[in-house]
Homo-oligomer: A and B are copies of this chain.
Amino acid sequence: MKPQLQIRMNEALYLRNPESSALGKSIIKHSVEMIYAQGIETFTFKKLAAEIGTTEASIYRYFENKHKLLVYLTAWYWGWLEFQISFHTNNIKEPAVKLKRVIKLLTSTVVDDKQTHHINESFLHQIIIAEGSKAYLTKQVGEDNKQQFFKPYKDLCAVIGHIISEVNPKYKYPKSLATTIVEMAHFQNFFMNNLPSLTDFGKTKEESEIIAFLNDLVFSSVKKK
């Protein structure tokens, strides 16, 4: 039996820790499935309660509202992804190789690790692509940021920024390039599948092409001239 990977979560994101009970885990599991299937706009706590056979009131004991739940899921994802990245780039010395691996991990469809836990990472990956930016594109972004809700996202970007600086310490925009990589890994995927004329991958719809594009973009900029 594999040790369950636990992502350390900011306690201000929930009222009761969903990892602490069967109901909590069920809330997370079915939230992911339902938001994946119907999108965050039409998803409601009432529908979720019906789906898992509990009451709205019970769900509100775990999460203050839908926004907090979305932020929770995104924070979990970024924490999980940072772990994946540190795991898969662990013994790579060459920073350029490491950066390529990061781009691949960011862009590739996640395979759900069924053994590990109740969260379907593949669904969650799709949720992050379509809904992730809504977590911070709000008027409360300042408040939420003060409460450290975006720390996992910022930490991940910082890690990528550091790798960029390792590749070329003189490159002037490591942080902005890091966020560009992360956001574009997702946006190009969304566009490829939904507004294909906005990308150069509309024909094949291959993730490998997004990876090639990002590699070209990143290494052209970062490489010493």
Contacts and interface: CB of A to CB of B under 8 A. Distances in A.
Contact of A200 (B138, B174, B198): B174
Contacts of A137: 130-131, 133-134, 190
Contacts of A173: 200, 213, 216-217
Interface stretch (A2-10, A23-31, A34-42, A80-88): A34-42
A197 interface: yes
A100 B39 CA distance: 37
A63 interface: no
A200 to B, nearest CB: 5
B133 A133 contact: yes
A113 B158 CA distance: 39
A177 interface: yes
B136 A213 contact: no
Interface residues of A, number: 49
Given A150-B195, A154-B195, A195-B145, A177 B217 contact: yes
Interface string A168-183: 0000111111111001
A60 interface: no
B141 A195 contact: yes
A108 interface: no
Interface in A174-223: 174-180, 183-184, 187-188, 190-191, 194-195, 197-201, 210, 213, 216-217, 220-221
Given A176-B210, A220-B225, 4 more contacts: A39-B138, A141-B195, A142-B194, A173-B217
Interface of A: 38-39, 41-42, 130-131, 133-134, 136-139, 141-142, 145, 150, 153-154, 157-158, 172-180, 183-184, 187-188, 190-191, 194-195, 197-201, 210, 213, 216-217, 220-221, 225
